[in-house]
Chains A and B, each alone.
Chain A
Amino acid sequence: MSESEERMDCEAREGGAAPLLSVADLQVRYGPAQALFDVSFELAADTTLAVLGANGAGKSTLARALSGLVPPSGGRIRFDGRDITAKAPDVIRRAGLVHLPEGRGVFPALTVQENLRMGLAVDRADRKAALERAFSIFPVLAQRHRQRAGTLSGGEQQMLSLARALMVSPRLVIADELSLGLAPRLVDVVFENLQRAREAGVSVIMIEQFAHRALGFADRCLILQRGVVAWSGPAEAAGDELLHRYLGEGTAA
């Protein structure tokens, strides 16, 4: 463990600036089942990482471990110069890491407006402007601001989830399958807005089923297979052959 930390520090010095996120030998277990084995990678500030992999490869587990939802059973996570290994999710969120979980990441019993207010629970400054920003990105949310989030359509719920991240200015957004089950037009909206966040200096880790789209968007790529990092490198180097090998025919669409 200390060896890898040294290596990490060494690389950081060589690169000039410390990476925004560095993960070393991360392991996660759910009871007797181990989901991640010694996952290590680094993410420089202002870059986008696409995490790809087949079902059950550990993509969502990686996201949950980074945001503190599941405690790692081994390894180290450093974020923005701080050790956030096994810290509580609220502490990690306050450090500037926003995790948009897989599925409907909204509070179903709260109204749209209340969901957005929960998104601002940490960043108290200028709530009004932040709310307006959310409504200007997704006008449909403004129309439905008094409606319960659980009664929105799937796409609207994803927009609400994304709005909760875009209305504030986090350092890093982890978007887990944000385009899952969305109509193609809405997938475009999701990517447009992630692009906008990127331009505003937010780093993004995207977990995606649309591998080609994700690779076109990202700078770097990490492929997980059965809980192990199978390949990592620049996104443009992740060619078709590689995707077929690790993801199979269907997923590389």
Chain B
Amino acid sequence: MLQYLFAGLALGAIYAIASVALVATYVSSGVFNFALGSMAFTVARFYYFLNTESGWPILPSAVVSLGLFAPALGAVLYWLLFRHLRLRSPLIKVVATIGLSVALPPAVELVFGKLTNVTAPGLAPVPLKVFHPFGAAVNMDQIMTYLGLVVVLVLGIAVLQYTDLGLKVRALVDSEALTSLSGVNPTRVSLGVWAVSTVLTGLAGILLAPTAGLSVEGMTYLMAAAFAAVVAARLNGLATAVAVALAMGVVTTVIQRYLDPESALSAQIVPSIPFAFMLLALLYHAWRRRAGEPPAGGALDRAIRVAGGATGGPAPARRGLADPTLIASGVALLSVAALPLVLPEYWAGLTATGLALAIALLSYTLVTGEGGMIWLCQITFAGMGAVLSAELATYHGWPPLLAVFVGALLIVVVGAVIGLLTIRLGDLYVALVTLTFGLLVQTLLFTRDRFYNFGQGTAMPRPGFAEDTRVFSYLTLGTFLLLALLIVNLRRSTAGMAMRAVRWSEDGARTLGLSVVQMKLLVSALATYTAAVGGGFLAMNSQSSLPDSYNVFSGLVWLAVLVTVGSRSLMAALVAGLSFHLFPGVFQTYLPTGWAEVPVLLFGLGAVMVAKDPDGILAVHARQLRGLLARRGGGLPQPSGRPAQAALASGSPDSAVHQLTGGDR
């Protein structure tokens, strides 16, 4: 028993160090770091490079990777990315850090090479010394993790409580505006916090590597566990986060004592423990009605913030069929429609996959673009749609199309339940709950032998008339257009307007008498349906349900690609779906194999760029196009401060105010 406790404390200590890093950056710069796992991997990989590959001794390797490399990494990432995120909308924050988490590992592999063997030494010399206090075995690696946590906590508390630097950090957490009014540069303090927390993240990564392996997957699991601890601590309580992290580690190892290690059940329960913790914590907070997001900064910070920055500008006025955006969409659609005809077999196949993916991506357009909710489990709904429709078609003899469209209806129930459960939660919590749900389904459901079938999944035939890839492509494109038209109609309807009202301001919508619950439920149901249909088409496309391809973290790449292209435009879903499959195809076919990871890197970088242009590249290009046309035609009046100035010059403040209230809205 004691043995399990020691191992559990070691695991918990690593979780605790990671959650301290997560809380520190969240409270000081308002960014919840979804790239924690990738950053831990990066530092641990650098340590491995020095210690194992270059043969440096442990101490200098640790000093260089944790004392120089990690702070530099944190500072650079802060300067390039996190700094710009503070005032962005939650969606942009989530997507930009997800983009980083997607881009970082391939970048690291490009520099240091891909690891085939993921076993890596920690901070203790190998072979590990083993001690036997109270009759239980404790190895040197475990002792290093205890030491690591103790050092982090003692140093952290000492610096935060008793130094000027710590005072400035705590002041910054309280109010950025007041901190700067006190003559302290908040950017510099945040930079320091990011540098230090990257050191902690890296330390957690290095300590985790001996047991979980030096792989992105292992580090991602570390991140999920840290998320659970931080959610339990309501995103800001360091002490609670550390306590929960330790408890989680202990439960994880102690529970294994009572489970048969060979059984499938234990293989499913053990990885689900952090998620169970997170679920319990969320239910508890929701029950206490405390699961809203803590407001960032003080009253002064809110007073000087300009509202609604990232929800986009006013909708452009309708200009009939001559609207350049509409023409561009039409041209794009026609060229996509021509693709299956002109491309050779291999590329036509990729196009079909891209089109099926585009359907699934439409669900993000609905739930995130229209509904303003950050759901990270659309891929899970797609996976469920794929699995269920394959079940219906293969074991119950349903025609494939019927299986897809009716099966998706059953998944809607799941989506609606999630929608209901998360309605009162803050944006970030919604993202975390849906992420957790996805991970749970992935470990508990998709891995069941009946569905998994050694990764093959269940067979899923295409409809008899669409066996041919070209015909199937057109069937998929047709379905995409059908759903897209539905969304367009929805946008124009009263329900669509109500949805937009809810997205802009829930309180405002409520005062108008709109039912926020109804609107959010409608969006979640529609989005779930779309995702499940998309999953069904993906399964028909590959003629098998392939549950492995609906990994939640691939879903993050989906979201990253979609938001990069544009989260509210329907064409963006089409473009994103196609580029997700065609782009890597180009790299695989025409470039050396070493470049295989580059598309992923570029997708990630694209999402990082969203920090600068929240509307996505399609919107940016459309804006540029409209601007160009306006300049050519000398037409559109540009809103500016000119009339107001003129009014002022004539000495009448009243007309200036008229300009202020009437002219600019």
Contact = CB atoms under 8 A, between A and B. Distances in A.
Interface of A: 27, 29-34, 37-38, 60, 64, 67-70, 73-74, 88-90, 93-94, 98-99, 101-110, 114, 117-119, 121-122, 164, 225-228, 230
Q: Is the interface of A mostly helix, strand, loop or mixed?
A: mixed
Interface string B296-337: 001110011011110000000000000000000000000000
Given A34-B641, A109-B174, 5 more contacts: A69-B180, A102-B300, A107-B178, A226-B657, A228-B656
Contact of B648 (A32, A38, A98): A38
A110 B167 contact: yes
B257 interface: no
A117 B177 CA distance: 17
Contacts of B60: none
Contacts of A117: 164, 167
20 contacts: A27-B641, A37-B644, A69-B300, A74-B641, A88-B185, A90-B180, A90-B182, A90-B186, A93-B183, A94-B183, A99-B181, A101-B181, A103-B300, A110-B174, A117-B164, A117-B167, A164-B182, A226-B654, A226-B656, A227-B653
B304 A64 contact: yes
Contacts of A228: 648, 653, 656
Contacts of B657: 226-227
Most chain B C-beta atoms within 10 Å of own C-beta, residue among A67, A107, A119, A164: A107
B664 A88 contact: no
Interface in B644-665: 644-645, 648, 653-654, 656-657, 660, 664-665
B641 A73 contact: yes
B299 to A, nearest CB: 5
B299 A89 contact: no
Given A101-B177, A114-B167, A69 B665 contact: no
A101 B300 contact: yes
Nearest to B664: A32
B170 interface: yes
Contacts of B365: none
B401 to A, nearest CB: 48
Most chain A C-beta atoms within 10 Å of own C-beta, residue among B178, B644, B645: B178
Interface of B: 164, 167-168, 170-171, 173-175, 177-186, 298-300, 303-304, 306-309, 641, 644-645, 648, 653-654, 656-657, 660, 664-665
Contacts, number: 116
Report the 5 A-B pairs with minimum CB-CB distance, sorted nearest first: A122-B183, A93-B183, A89-B180, A107-B174, A32-B664
Contact of A31 (B168, B174, B300, B308): B308
A105 B167 contact: no
A117 B163 CA distance: 11
Contacts of B183: 90, 93-94, 121-122
A226 B657 CA distance: 7
A48 B582 CA distance: 69
A84 to B, nearest CB: 13
A228 B648 CA distance: 9
A11 to B, nearest CB: 21
A122 to B, nearest CB: 4
Q: Is the interface of B mostly helix, strand, loop or mixed?
A: helix
Contacts of B184: 90, 118, 121-122
Nearest to A69: B304
A107 B182 CA distance: 11
B138 to A, nearest CB: 39
Most chain A C-beta atoms within 10 Å of own C-beta, residue among B167, B174, B656: B174
A88 B171 contact: no
Contacts of B654: 226
A68 B300 CA distance: 13
A164 B175 CA distance: 16
B240 to A, nearest CB: 16
Contact of B656 (A67, A101, A121, A227): A227
A103 B299 contact: yes
Contacts of B304: 64, 69-70
Most chain B C-beta atoms within 10 Å of own C-beta, residue among A64, A90, A110: A90
A105 B186 CA distance: 17
Most chain B C-beta atoms within 10 Å of own C-beta, residue among A88, A89, A99, A121: A89
B182 A119 contact: yes
Contact of B171 (A67, A74, A98, A107): A107
Given A70-B304, A93-B182, A33 B174 contact: no
Contact of A33 (B164, B178, B180, B660): B660
Given A32-B665, A105-B300, A117-B164, A122 B182 contact: yes
Nearest to A149: B174
Contacts of A119: 182
B175 A107 contact: yes
A108 B298 contact: yes
A121 B656 CA distance: 42
A126 B168 CA distance: 19
Nearest to A117: B167
Nearest to B314: A32
Nearest to B665: A32
B653 A226 contact: yes
Contact of A38 (B168, B178, B645): B645
B141 to A, nearest CB: 38
A222 to B, nearest CB: 15
Contact of B181 (A33, A67, A70, A103): A67
B312 to A, nearest CB: 13
A89 B181 CA distance: 5
Contacts of A60: 303
Most chain A C-beta atoms within 10 Å of own C-beta, residue among B181, B654, B665: B181
B182 A104 contact: no
A99 to B, nearest CB: 5
Contact of B185 (A29, A90, A105): A90
A30 B186 contact: no
Contacts of A30: 306
A84 B119 CA distance: 56
Contacts of B186: 90
Contacts of B656: 37, 226-228
Contacts of A164: 182
Nearest to B174: A107
Given A38-B645, A93-B180, A104 B174 contact: no
Nearest to B298: A108
B664 A33 contact: yes
A73 B168 CA distance: 30
A34 B306 CA distance: 12
A101 B178 CA distance: 8
